[in-house]
Amino acid sequence: MNLENRKRELAREFSPMLEKTTKTSKIWIGFLIAVILVGVYAFFVQLFKGHIVTGMRDNVVWGIYIINFIFFVCLSYSGAFISGVLHFFKTPWKNSVSRIVEIITVLSLIVGPIFILLCIGRLDRLHYLFIYPRIQSPITWDIIAIMTDLIGCFIYLYLTFIPDFAILRDHSENASKWRQKVYKYLAIGYQDTPTQREKLHKITRTMSAMVIALAIVAYSVLAWIFSLTLQPGWNSSIFAPYFIIAGLYSGISVIIIAMYLIRKYYHLEHYIRKVHFIGAGIVLLVISLLFGYFTFSEYFSRWFSHKLSDANLLNTLFTRYFWMFIFANYIGVLVPIAILFFKKLRTIKSITFAAVIAVIGLWFNRYLIVVPTLESPYLPIQDTREEFVHYTATWIEWSLSFAGVAAFILFFILIMKLVPVIPMSGIIDNEREQKKVKKSFKKIVTE
Amino acid sequence: MKSLNYKYTIITSLIIAFLFSFNLFAQEEDASNYRMRFNLKTIKQHDNSRLLEASFIGQNKKDRKDRIPVFDAEIAFYNGTDLLGIAKTSNEGIAQLIVPENQIYTTDEDGYINFIAKFEGSDGLDEEEDDIQVKDLFLELNLEEIDSVKTVLVTAFTIDSLGVKTPLEEADLIISINGMISKMILEEGTIEDGEFEFEFPTDIPGDANGDIMVYSIIEDNDDFGNLIQQKSINWGTFKTESVKDGNTLWSEAAPIWMYIVLTILLVGVWANYVYTAINLFKIKKEGQEIALAAEKELEQ
């Protein structure tokens, strides 16, 4: 088939996904906007009344905002890492998942840092971070790392979008004018000539290697915010690799969940197949084993050394946070392992279920890293009122958290309205590669 | 199935037997199981006072490592038949009595002082006694710089009833200094004809002021028991306090390596971004040229 005809066919196949909005999706978008609006209201309440409306006090200065921040940023880094690996090593099944991963990467890197802003009591002094940066401070490293990574991820995402923008520019005659203009502008005159293709492949490949390195550095910096602080439960030498593994654990789980929802909602069974779920499931199994190993090493060394502060922290984890600890570190690790270990249990639904358990478990794991540590400081707590000693999130914090999740999903849907979730250029590249292989095979046979 | 049950029964019985065996062999702590060790020693201290020390410890007859100190036991110290004083054993089983320098001791015809420590016995413990005979020896420690050489001079002598000094013929001697945890031995030698000379090392730092406490010690001598003499001197070579390195992380500027690493990382990453942008402009330029060519073709 002619290449142009194939491109037109693909554009026609995916255009309903881009242009048509069903009643269900309208209701869904409306619901997400409503959740975001509640979050906006909560934000203004917090802005005008101050942090007194949250559960954070002198002692527990970080609550679920920072947990969401770590969760989303780790998600982003793991997305960048996975996406970089998929591109760099030309993984065979990358085409079906690469765009989902790239969108998750960029969106979580936009949503995540918003939560850190919510932690800041004096937002009017935010610019001080840039005017008076201290290179010695891990917070400064994190700001630099996040900003550099965000720009890198944007560039990388854009590079992978260009060929699809070009296809949509050339073959979406029926699309609205503004959409055509947007495609034309974003395609930057890409005509898929051999030189353009070669240039684009070269820079995409370099950027994919770059985002892997960036993700590792940024991950480590995020972990160092905790591990370089002298607090019980934080001051650990394995925190950086532990965070990398934990991030990959959540990243792969969210990708599996997204794959399941997109496949079901957009009827992409032809592109996102069981083999992709099994592949992702096996990766999740390996990561869950590693995550379990790191978690055990972390807590075991603290328990065995039995320093007073660590003993107090472990006592808190096994009393006040007992069920959360069990869910985070036993159910959240062992259930995915049990499901993914047995071949018979590896169905699309069970793999997705394992991913959901892993995500919830990991969120609890983050909670247990942040809150119980702040509740058991080295120095005794001066004000012993219950709300000063223990932390409980308020409705303001929950509504802003849900608003963040809603914003993430809404942006995801909106991006999927702009470009197909399965890269058309990837399908064409695949077919082109297959033709090349067939030709060379024919040549060998005839010779 | 039968054999399996049989196997489990045997294993369970063995485990139960093993657990109960601990109780069967458990020993009761009874004084009859212990052999009492009662020892007396004497140390002539630097101020010429004399420390009499009795240790009272029970040692398990079967397990020699099992040692229990006898505490709060009343020990009487004698010089011959003269009572010198009474002391009680501590939690470590040690009773100490310091006899002042001016104490006049009775001696035998050879000049030996006979010390006796006595425990009168109690309901559970038998009477215990130990004695020791020592001659009164005088140890002098002098620290002098001879021709700019820091020298430790030790003299040892006895004094008879007429006040005549007789140098000590021969005895083992230890020269040590005060360390942070215990005494550090510098030299182990022999006093001959009542004299010992030792060149003090030049690389001993001393305390913050450069002061060093020097000891000369005679240990467990058959004739004289234990003697110790001490003197402090400003012979330390390291007199200034060490200058602590400041925490550079909290200083005005970060450590230089931090700037270097950060610059390399950022330059590397941003150079790649610039390279990507340049290539994107090249792609754009080529696209524009193709579009222009296509337009021209259409016009023609």
Q: Are B141 and B216 in contact (CB under 8 A)?
A: yes
- Pick from B248, B269, B279: CB nearest A203: B279
A382 inside domain: no
Chain centroid to Cα A85, Å, comes to: 15
Residues B103 and B163 in one domain: no
Residues A56 and A119 in one domain: yes
Amino acid at A247: G
Residues B120 and B95 in one domain: yes
Q: At what angle do helices A3-19 and A424-446 cross, to 10 degrees?
A: 150
- Give the span between the Cα atoms of A403 and A233, in whole angstroms: 30
Domain ends where: A320, A344, A377? A377
CB contact under 8 A, A193 and B279: no
Question: Among all residues of chain A, which has the CA nearest to that of B275?
Answer: A203
The CB density around residue B62, as the number of other CB atoms within 10 Å, is: 8
Structural domains of chain A, count: 2
Interface contact B14, partner A, CB < 8 A: no
Interface test with A, best of B278, B282, B283 (most A CBs within 10 A): B283
B102 inside domain: yes
Give the model's pLDDT for residue B16: 53
- Pick from B254, B259, B280: CB nearest A188: B280
Maximum CA extent, chain B = 143
- Give the span between the Cα atoms of A357 and A252, in whole angstroms: 12
Q: Are B192 and B170 in contact (CB under 8 A)?
A: yes
CB contact under 8 A, A189 and B272: no
Residues A32 and A103 in one domain: yes
B213 inside domain: yes
Residues B35 and B125 in one domain: yes
B19 inside domain: no
Residues B123 and B148 in one domain: no
- Pick from B266, B275, B280: CB nearest A148: B266
A385 inside domain: no
B287: its two tokens? 């696209």
Domain ends where: A342, A377, A412? A377
**SS3 call for B51:** strand
Residues A350 and A432 in one domain: no
Measure in Å the smallest separation between the Cα of A152 and chain B Cα atoms.
7
Domain ends where: B192, B213, B233? B233
A165 inside domain: yes
CA distances from B150 to B153, B197, B200, B216, B233 (A): 10, 11, 5, 15, 11
Residues B148 and B212 in one domain: yes
Residues A225 and A245 in one domain: no
CB contact under 8 A, B284 and A189: yes
- Pick from B273, B282, B291: CB nearest A199: B282
Residues A222 and A136 in one domain: yes
pLDDT digit string (tens) for A148-158?
988 998 898 89
Residues A328 and A218 in one domain: no
Residues A113 and A150 in one domain: yes
Chain B residues within 8 A of A195 when measuring between CB atoms: 286
- Give the span between the Cα atoms of B179 and A239, in whole angstroms: 41
Give the model's pLDDT for residue A419: 81
Residues B205 and B162 in one domain: yes
Measure in Å the smallest separation between the Cα of A134 and chain B Cα atoms.
8
Interface contact B264, partner A, CB < 8 A: no
- Give the span between the Cα atoms of A66 and A51, in whole angstroms: 14
Give the model's pLDDT for residue B28: 45
Residues A246 and A312 in one domain: yes
Lowest mean per-residue pLDDT among A244-248, A331-335, A381-385: A381-385
- How many CA atoms within 13 Å lie on the side-chain side of A161? 26
Confidence of residue A211 (pLDDT cuts 50, 70, 90): confident
Residues B72 and B56 in one domain: yes
- Give the span between the Cα atoms of A415 and A108, in whole angstroms: 13
pLDDT digit string (tens) for A264-294?
888 888 888 888 889 889 999 999 999 999 9
Residues A314 and A400 in one domain: no
Question: Among all residues of chain B, which has the CA nearest to that of A152?
Answer: B273
Q: Are A175 and A102 in contact (CB under 8 A)?
A: no
Chain A residues within 8 A of B247 when measuring between CB atoms: none
B11: its two tokens? 């294993």
Domain ends where: B233, B255, B290? B233
Give the model's pLDDT for residue B19: 44
CATH number for the domain harbouring residue B228: 2.60.40.1940
Domain ends where: B112, B135, B158? B135
- Pick from B259, B283, B286: CB nearest A135: B259
Chain B residues within 8 A of A196 when measuring between CB atoms: 283, 286-287
Whether the pLDDT of residue A359 is over 90: the answer is: yes
B243 inside domain: no
Mean pLDDT in residue range A40-50: 92
- Give the span between the Cα atoms of A187 and A158, in whole angstroms: 10
Q: Are A214 and A148 in contact (CB under 8 A)?
A: yes
CB contact under 8 A, B270 and A148: yes
Give the model's pLDDT for residue B146: 87
- Pick from A188, A195, A214: CB nearest B284: A188
Residues A104 and A212 in one domain: yes
B147 inside domain: yes
pLDDT digit string (tens) for A58-116?
788 888 999 999 888 888 888 888 888 887 777 766 777 888 888 888 888 889 888 98
> Which residue range forms the structural domain that includes residue A336?
239-377
A307 phi and psi angles, rounded to 5 deg: -70, 150
Give the model's pLDDT for residue A98: 83
Residues B122 and B151 in one domain: no
Interface test with B, best of A150, A151, A190 (most B CBs within 10 A): A190
Closest CA to B47 of B102, B7, B91, B2: B102
Chain A residues within 8 A of B266 when measuring between CB atoms: 144, 148
Residues B79 and B124 in one domain: yes
Amino acid at B68: I
- Give the span between the Cα atoms of A328 and A311, in whole angstroms: 19
- Give the span between the Cα atoms of B283 and A435, in whole angstroms: 26
Closest CA to B285 of A199, A189, A192: A189
Residues B103 and B171 in one domain: no
Residues B83 and B93 in one domain: yes
Give the model's pLDDT for residue B27: 42
Residues of chain B below pLDDT 50: 1-2, 18-28
CA distances from B218 to A290, A308, B156, B291 (A): 63, 46, 10, 106
Confidence of residue A446 (pLDDT cuts 50, 70, 90): low
B286 inside domain: no
Residues A222 and A292 in one domain: no
Lowest mean per-residue pLDDT among A167-171, A431-435, B8-12, B137-141: B8-12
B246 inside domain: no
Size (chain B), residues: 300
CB contact under 8 A, B272 and A134: no
> Which residue range forms the structural domain that includes residue B153?
137-233
A435 inside domain: yes
Q: At what angle do helices A94-119 and A395-418 cross, to 10 degrees?
A: 150
Q: Which letter does DSSP use for residue A273 in this model?
A: -
CB contact under 8 A, B276 and A200: no
Give the model's pLDDT for residue A352: 94
Percent of chain A with pLDDT over 70: 94
CATH number for the domain harbouring residue B66: 2.60.40
Q: Which letter does DSSP use for residue A331 in this model?
A: I
**Strand B112-119 relative to strand B94-99: parallel, antiparallel, unpaired?**
unpaired
Residues A156 and A120 in one domain: yes
CB contact under 8 A, B254 and A210: no
**What is the count of residue pairs from A and B with beta carbons less than 8 Å apart?**
70
B239 inside domain: no
Structural domains of chain B, count: 2
Find the chain A residues whose C-beta atoms sit closer than 8 A to any C-beta of B: 134-136, 141, 144, 148, 151-152, 155, 159, 162, 187-191, 193, 195-196, 199-200, 202-203, 206-207, 210, 214, 217
Residues B110 and B161 in one domain: no
Measure in Å the smallest separation between the Cα of A214 and chain B Cα atoms.
8
- Give the span between the Cα atoms of B241 and A263, in whole angstroms: 72
Measure in Å the smallest separation between the Cα of B241 and chain A Cα atoms.
29
Question: Among all residues of chain B, which has the CA nearest to that of A195?
Answer: B283
